[in-house]
Amino acid sequence: MLGIGIDIGGTNTKLVVVNRAGKLLAHERFRTEAAKGPASFIKRLAEVVACFRRDYGRQLVSIGIGAAGDVDPERGLLRFSPNLAWRSVKLAGPLEKMTGLPCAMENDANMAAWGAYELELRRKTDDILTLTLGTGIGSGLILGGKLYHGSSGSAGEAGHLKIVPNGRACHCGGRGCLEAYCGSYAIIARARELIGNEKAFVKKFAAPGHEKLNTICLTNAAAAGHAGARRVWSETGQHLGMGLAGLILVLNPGCVVLTGGVSKARKWFLPAMRKVLGNQQIKTPFEKVKIRISDNADLGSYGAALFGLEHGLK
């Protein structure tokens, strides 16, 4: 049995074919081009699925979809996606009709959490919190071995936990959110305040061919001993620690998985993050929890495929 996993992002949409053990057999990607509208998008999805079916036929039994935004998993509905600028779009039903395969749909961070549960932890830990640290911060919860949706499918919006009263402006329109301190856009904004001459900084620390201020450039600078860059990362770790501390107190997870581009800077933000966690007064949940970093950039699409195999079959 093989499953198709689809990860719908603001820029690109990734599709994979994997087996039950999470082994990749085929993959495809195209530009999401959300402005062309959902109907054209679903048609392009169905075309790729048709190609996969030519190669794998009846071995393909399900589709899992992870979409960036607020998803109603029961109705297969994308209620709202700021990245795609779509509202109330039915995705799972139309794709089921066009392909004849059962579709399960979830928020993209939920699918990444399922991917972490299956592939990183091999189901050995049943209570897991996953944070995807990218431009924004997504999160997904596996509790008791099940994906936790909450009462309206919106559980896991950890990026918008308020950690600083009246703090920095967040992309959601609010202030003081975790994402407004630890999303890559926020980290770069803070770096601009601390690094001095940006042009000279970029020239010195950016990767060849990518001459702009990004988190890789900031990581290189920290490695070279730049005090401002190290301070940015240590502040990022402190804020992340504050957000995580609250989540760990509430959920008592066995493992926290951090993934996404920002997690590559682990060496520079983890010490400050661990310090905040170590300074909490209710000790037990912090002694118990393991912190894991996943460098698998495809947890979302793999997780979607595996979730579809598990839940899409009716």
CA-only gyration radius of the chain, Å: 20
Distances (CA, A) of 134 to 181, 199, 260, 265, 297: 12, 24, 5, 12, 11
Binders in 177-196 for Zn ion, by CB under 5 A: 177
Does the protein bind Zn ion through residue 278 (CB under 5 A)? no
Q: How far is the CB of 169 from Zn ion (least distance, A)?
A: 9
Distance of CA 240 to the CA centre of its chain: 15
Return d(Cα 151, Cα 148) in angstroms, integer.
Answer: 9
37 near Zn ion, rule: CB under 5 A: no
Q: Tokens in use for 89?
A: 């779009």
Region from 19-27, 166-174, 221-229, 291-299 binding Zn ion, contact rule CB under 5 A: 166-174
H/E stretch holding 132 reads: strand 128-133
Q: Rule CB under 5 A: say whether 145 interacts with Zn ion.
A: no
Q: Does 170 bind Zn ion (CB under 5 A)?
A: yes
Among 25, 172, 194, 291, binds Zn ion (CB under 5 A): 172
Half-sphere exposure of 210 (CA within 13 A, CB side): 10
Query: Which tokens hold the place of 311?
Result: 């839940």
Using CB under 5 A as the binding rule, whether residue 154 contacts Zn ion is answered as no
Closest separation between CB of residue 136 and Zn ion, Å?
A: 8
- CA neighbours within 13 Å on the CB side: how many for 212? 5
Q: Is 174 in the site for Zn ion (CB under 5 A)?
A: yes
Cβ proximity to Zn ion, 145 vs 174, nearer residue: 174
| Pick 190 or 266: Cβ nearer Zn ion | 190
Residues linked to residue 146 through DSSP beta bridges, in sequence order = 143
CB of 236 to Zn ion, least distance (A): 16
Stretch that binds Zn ion, among 31-39, 163-171, 242-250, 268-276 (CB under 5 A): 163-171
User: Can you give the binding site for Zn ion, defined by CB under 5 A?
Assistant: 160, 170, 172, 174, 177
